């Protein structure tokens, strides 16, 4: 009887059509997710005008979705390790598609906030699950690139929202961009067919035939033999089989300090991301730009985010990902601060692009780092808790910046407030211990453990 370590099998697999399909579906889901998240910031000036709300009230309205995202990331990220990742992803798509569309039918701040909270459950829940899915099935040498390439769909969704918003809002009102968000729900059956189930879940539930089918596509060179048994690494397998208290595992094996530092980094980065996503169009409009020009800045922000995510992932596969992140957070501090100062239009577009690359792009690379840091059996839980705790920064950002906007402070001070978290994030990432990551520990025991063990 042979024991086949699926973790090592996935690490050493060569990129093939199976990986490309997972990348396609995960990226498509993130595009929808990014659209649903960005649409509120795109429509915010029109919503404020029609509903007659102040900047502070608008900040609370935007934060309602982010508050839902906090619960969604923690609950649906954790529950996926128990009910299966495909099922959790399908639930998330249904939540963010249906309730974002319903938000377009509301006419008062309270009902808008309630529907956005419910949509936020799905928006927040899908992120840790698709990151865990892509991380689990990616070859180790391409893992950073594939995860960040997949997550660049978030920026594509934001750009799609900006492009559609410029035409739809002027022609049909702000409601139209929300109603368009309901379309992804029809793709749920295709997503369930196209995505494989998590391998730890298949092992835990004894679905050996399904697991064999997945392995044959993951690593076509693998030759199955009668009596093959698929297993996780000993430490991960025990936790997966027990199925109890996975949150506790985030603090075991010397990962406690690093886990807290991930939470701090997520908090700070998400504060910057949602401060810019929610208020950039409004701040630029207040600085004298037309609505169309202000939305163009959102487009450039997300285009820069896509380049930053892909470039950061490429660097992370060639340099220590921790060092890459420190550099990206430092760039965020500089670029966001510069946004508040007068400069030629061409230079301003470049700085906005750099701000997108070093905030949204950096957040995507941070997701990739968290995905590599935690063991496969609790990867969804680790990413979900980091994302969920970090969502408190996302919740505070629109409110804090909304209060500052309401105080009519100089533009420079608004952007400086957005830049301060980048400095704190540099310190947090510096304290993450890479020797405690799952990949580092796997390499440390590799000489005494073969991927295929004869028994």
- Average confidence (pLDDT) over 303-322: 86
Domain limits, the chain? 2-454
Burial class (CB in 10 A: 0-12, 13-18, 19+), 306: buried
Please list the alpha-helical segments (H only) found in 197-255.
199-204, 208-218, 234-242, 246-249
What per-residue confidence (pLDDT) applies to 294? 64
What per-residue confidence (pLDDT) applies to 12? 81
Q: Predicted confidence band at 441 (pLDDT cuts at 50, 70, 90)?
A: low
Tens-digit pLDDT profile for residues 158-196:
778 878 877 777 778 888 888 888 888 998 999 888 888
Does residue 277 register a pLDDT over 80? no
| Residue position matching structure tokens 């950002």 | 397
What per-residue confidence (pLDDT) applies to 238? 46
Tokens of 48: 């404020």
- Determine the number of helices (DSSP H) and then strands (DSSP E) in the chain: 20, 3
Q: What is the pTM of this model?
A: 0.71
Asked if 352 and 415 touch (Cβ cutoff 8 Å), the reply is no
Three-state DSSP class for 4?
A: strand
- Determine the Cα angle at 429 with ends 426 and 434, to 5°: 150
Q: Which of 130, 116, 117 is nearest to 80 (CA)?
A: 130
- Average confidence (pLDDT) over 260-271: 93
What per-residue confidence (pLDDT) applies to 241? 46
What per-residue confidence (pLDDT) applies to 423? 93
- Determine the Cα angle at 439 with ends 434 and 440, to 5°: 50
What per-residue confidence (pLDDT) applies to 286? 66
C-alpha span between 93 and 32 (Å, rounded): 8
Does residue 220 register a pLDDT over 50? yes
Q: Predicted confidence band at 327 (pLDDT cuts at 50, 70, 90)?
A: very high
Burial class (CB in 10 A: 0-12, 13-18, 19+), 407: exposed
Pick the CATH number of 2-454 from 1.10.760.10, 1.20.1250.20, 2.30.110.10, 2.170.140.10: 1.20.1250.20
Does residue 448 register a pLDDT over 50? no
- Average confidence (pLDDT) over 342-355: 85
What per-residue confidence (pLDDT) applies to 75? 81
Q: Predicted confidence band at 290 (pLDDT cuts at 50, 70, 90)?
A: low
Tokens of 29: 């889901």
What per-residue confidence (pLDDT) applies to 242? 44
Does residue 243 register a pLDDT over 60? no
Three-state DSSP class for 364?
A: helix
- Average confidence (pLDDT) over 209-224: 79
What per-residue confidence (pLDDT) applies to 289? 64
Q: Which of 40, 29, 36 is nearest to 152 (CA)?
A: 29
Burial class (CB in 10 A: 0-12, 13-18, 19+), 347: exposed
What per-residue confidence (pLDDT) applies to 389? 84
Highest mean pLDDT pick, 9-23, 368-382, 401-415: 9-23
Does residue 102 register a pLDDT over 90? yes
Q: What percent of the chain has pLDDT over 90?
A: 16
Q: Predicted confidence band at 73 (pLDDT cuts at 50, 70, 90)?
A: confident
Does residue 269 register a pLDDT over 50? yes
Does residue 433 register a pLDDT over 70? yes
Mean pLDDT of the chain: 80
Q: Predicted confidence band at 445 (pLDDT cuts at 50, 70, 90)?
A: very low
Higher pLDDT, 128 or 426: 426
What per-residue confidence (pLDDT) applies to 262? 93
What per-residue confidence (pLDDT) applies to 246? 65
């Amino acid at each position: 009887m042979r024991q086949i370590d699926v973790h090592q099998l996935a690490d050493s697999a060569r990129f093939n059509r199976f990986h490309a399909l997972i990348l396609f579906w995960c990226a498509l889901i993130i595009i929808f997710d990014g659209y649903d998240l960005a649409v509120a910031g795109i429509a915010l000036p029109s919503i404020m005008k029609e509903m007659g709300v102040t900047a502070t009230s608008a900040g609370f309205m935007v934060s309602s979705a982010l508050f839902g995202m906090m619960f969604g990331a923690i609950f649906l990220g954790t529950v996926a390790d128990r009910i299966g990742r495909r099922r959790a992803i399908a639930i998330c798509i249904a939540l963010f598609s249906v309730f974002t569309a319903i938000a377009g039918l509301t006419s008062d701040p309270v009902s808008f906030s309630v529907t956005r909270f419910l949509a936020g459950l799905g928006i927040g829940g899908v992120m840790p699950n698709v990151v865990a899915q892509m991380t689990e099935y990616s070859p180790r040498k391409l893992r950073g690139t594939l995860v960040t390439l997949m997550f660049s769909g978030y920026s594509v969704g934001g750009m799609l929202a900006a492009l559609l918003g410029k035409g739809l809002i002027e022609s049909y009102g702000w409601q139209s961009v929300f109603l368009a968000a309901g379309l992804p729900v029809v793709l749920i059956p295709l997503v369930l067919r196209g995505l494989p189930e998590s391998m730890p879940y298949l092992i835990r539930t004894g679905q050996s035939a399904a697991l064999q089918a997945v392995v044959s596509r993951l690593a076509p060179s693998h030759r199955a033999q009668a009596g093959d048994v698929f297993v996780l690494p000993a430490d991960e397998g025990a936790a997966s089989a027990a199925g109890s208290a996975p949150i506790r595992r985030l603090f075991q094996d010397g990962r406690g300090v690093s886990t807290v530092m991930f939470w701090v980094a997520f908090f700070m980065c998400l504060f910057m991301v949602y401060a810019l996503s929610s208020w950039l169009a409004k701040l630029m409009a207040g600085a004298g730009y037309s609505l169309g020009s202000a939305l163009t800045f959102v487009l450039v922000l997300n285009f820069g985010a896509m380049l930053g995510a892909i470039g950061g992932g490429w660097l992370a596969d060639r340099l220590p990902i921790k060092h890459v992140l420190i550099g990206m957070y430092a760039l965020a501090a500089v670029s966001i601060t510069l946004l508040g100062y007068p400069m030629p239009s061409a230079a301003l577009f470049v700085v906005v692009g750099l701000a997108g690359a070093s905030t949204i792009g950096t957040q995507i690379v941070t997701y990739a780092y968290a995905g590599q840091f935690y063991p496969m059996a609790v990867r969804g839980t680790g990413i979900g808790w980091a994302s969920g705790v970090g969502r408190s920064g996302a919740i505070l950002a629109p409110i804090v910046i909304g209060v500052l906007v309401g105080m009519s402070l100089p533009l420079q001070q608004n952007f400086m407030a957005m830049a301060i978290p980048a400095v704190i994030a540099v310190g947090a990432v510096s304290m993450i211990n890479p020797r405690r990551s799952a990949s580092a520990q796997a390499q440390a025991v590799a000489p005494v453990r073969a991927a295929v063990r004869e028994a």
